[in-house]
Amino acid sequence: APVVVWFRDDLRIADNPALCAAADQRAPVIALYVLDEESSGIRPLGGAAKWWLHHSLSALQADLADHGIPLVLRHGAALAEVVDIVGQVGARAVVWNRRYGGPERSVDTEVKASLSAAGIEVESFAASLLFEPWMIRTRNGDPYSVFAPFWKACNAAPPPRLPLSVPERINRSADLTGVTRLEMDELALLPKHPDWASGLRAAWRPGEASAQRALADFFDGSLRTYASDREIPGTPGTSRLSPHLRWGEISPFQAWHAAKVMRQEASEGVRAFLSELGWREFAWHTLFHSPDLATANWRPGFDAFPWPAIRPDLLTAWQEGRTGFRLVDAGMRELWRTGWMHNRVRMVTASFLTKNLLVDWREGERWFWDTLVDADSASNPFNWQWVAGSGPDSSPYFRVFNPELQAAKFDPADRYTRANIEEWRTGEYPDPIVDLRETRANALDAYEIVRNRP
């Protein structure tokens, strides 16, 4: 009887412990992906994420086919779909790599209970985080709320395991006659009318092979200058691995060990890069302990923050990159066009929305969720709360980025601005929609109210 590997945010065949475990069983292996937009609490993917998923799944399907493994696609509530497929193929076991979001964990627990009750073996593995969230705790057993001691504790824990190779021997005799499965196009992940994805197609190649290439290129190139150049948008100063990590086309174990190998040659860059992987861990551990991170202020005292009624004209100007502040607008347009934005500019655009426009961070989080190819349910709300001042180890409330000074400092020669704002040179560029000094003062007044609350 076959073993089913249920793929989720781990769209790769190398360093995939669930796939390795299935191969070890010497039974036919069937891969499954369920597009779940129905289970309670599961957040439907944004548009850019769906575009990525389509191409990443296509790449995975081809890679699995090379190893004789069929990928079955389904659309529906995971519990019903997994149970159904297991019945149709007569599987004796189901394996998967763990997820850490609240609703995802509930679904996985339900699926496990239901399969186990039917005598089907279930096993899950650690594959998308370097450290399991329940392993990293303060001496009192609490989750960490400050990054530096968190990362110190991670580095003192048993080191992340070595990456696993692609299983060599996979039993090829899976028979899918009579099994219900969708074609890739039936998942309807791509935009049709209008097709807004041309900028995404120009910027990215989803899939494991290109993830590996991006990792190798980064380690051959920008890692050496990463510590200094990572703050300069518009240059290839960072790894651009975020969507590949988001979809699990490469694992943090692969990135971690690749970096460790480079320790001699590029120590400063390696330390900085590993610490960024640390922020990714911190965001996910925070989500594990606070599953409603995308909807509720992590600091409860922040609930008293006096957000004024939203002015739709200001929100739209921000979304469309028409605020009249070049770094904000260049960032928002880079995001819309390519599905990605440089980290420095994410911080500036988020600060501008929440502080100068006094728009609730949840509005910004939702926009990023829909437009980022790397949007994930931990990093996105975590970083929005970090900027807004409501999250763990947040930037202090009085830190309001000045977008003009930030532009002068991080894009002094207008390179990034020109690359993203067509009308920058023609003089048709809009005037600022708000006064920076006045809005900053208003924000600080509003923040006074929550300043000393927990």
Active site residues: 276, 279, 307, 343, 361, 384
Binding of residue 350 to ligand FAD (CB under 6 A): yes
Distance CA 67, CA 3 (A): 15
Asked if 242 touches ligand FAD (CB under 6 A), the answer is: yes
**Of residues 61 and 377, the one with the C-beta less far from ligand FAD:** 377
**Does 12 help bind ligand FAD (rule: CB under 6 A)?**
no
The stretch among 5-13, 95-103, 199-207, 236-244 that binds ligand FAD (CB under 6 A) is 236-244
Q: Cα separations (Å) of 192 from 162, 195, 198, 227, 432?
A: 42, 5, 12, 41, 34
Q: Is 64 in the site for ligand FAD (CB under 6 A)?
A: no
**362 binds ligand FAD per the rule CB under 6 A:** no
CA gap 58, 189 in Å, rounded: 11
302 is in an annotated binding site: no
| Rounded least distance, CB 255 to ligand FAD, Å | 7
Can you tell me the distance from the alpha carbon of 330 to that of 314, in angstroms, rounded to the nearest whole number?
A: 16
Question: Considering only CA atoms, which of 216, 234, 285, 181 is closest in space to residue 412?
Answer: 234
CB of 365 to ligand FAD, least distance (A): 8
CA angle 148, 150, 152 (to 5 degrees): 70
Q: How far is the CB of 211 from ligand FAD (least distance, A)?
A: 11
Sign, Cα dihedral of 353, 43, 16, 161 = positive
Q: Would you say 116 or 267 has its CB closer to ligand FAD?
A: 267
Min dist CB 220 to ligand FAD, Å, is 14
For ligand FAD, how many residues bind (rule: CB under 6 A)? 27
Q: Which DSSP category does 224 fall into? A: G
Q: Which of 12, 54, 98, 230 binds ligand FAD (CB under 6 A)?
A: 230
Contact between 240 and ligand FAD per CB under 6 A:
yes
Q: How far apart are CA 264 and CA 271, in angstroms?
A: 11
Task: Specify whether the CB–CB gap between 327 and 406 falls below 8 A.
Answer: yes
Residue with tokens 């297991």: 86
**Bond preceding residue 160 cis, omega within 30 of 0:** no
127 lines the binding site for ligand FAD (CB under 6 A): no
The nearest distance, CB 115 to ligand FAD, in angstroms, is 31
Answer yes or no whether residue 257 interacts with ligand FAD by CB under 6 A: no
Spatial contact of 52 and 206, defined as CB atoms under 8 Å apart? yes
Helical H runs in 235-342? Answer: 242-246, 252-261, 267-289, 312-320, 326-338
Among 47-55, 186-194, 341-349, 426-434, the segment contacting ligand FAD (CB under 6 A): 341-349
The CA–CA distances, whole Å, from 27 to 24, 173, 357 equal 8, 8, 58
292 is in an annotated binding site: no
Selected binder of ligand FAD within 11, 21, 283, 400 (CB under 6 A): 283
Q: Closer CB to ligand FAD, residue 250 or residue 433? A: 250
Closest approach, Cβ 279 to ligand FAD, in A, equals 4
223 is in an annotated binding site: no
Encode burial over 223-236: b for 16+ CB neighbours within 10 A, e otherwise.
Answer: bbbbbeebebbbee
Query: In the set 241, 327, 357, 373, which binds ligand FAD (CB under 6 A)?
Result: 241
Residues 380-399: x/- map of binding to ligand FAD (CB under 6 A)?
x--xx--x------------
Q: Catalogue the long-range contacts made by 146-151 (C-beta closer than 8 Å, 24 or more residues apart).
A: 146/392, 146/393, 147/278, 147/279, 147/282, 147/392, 147/393, 150/278, 150/281, 150/282, 150/285, 151/275, 151/278, 151/281, 151/282
Residues that bind ligand FAD (CB under 6 A): 230, 238-242, 245-246, 276-277, 279-280, 283, 343, 346-347, 350, 368, 372, 374-376, 379-380, 383-384, 387
Annotated binding site for FAD: 226, 238-242, 273, 374-376
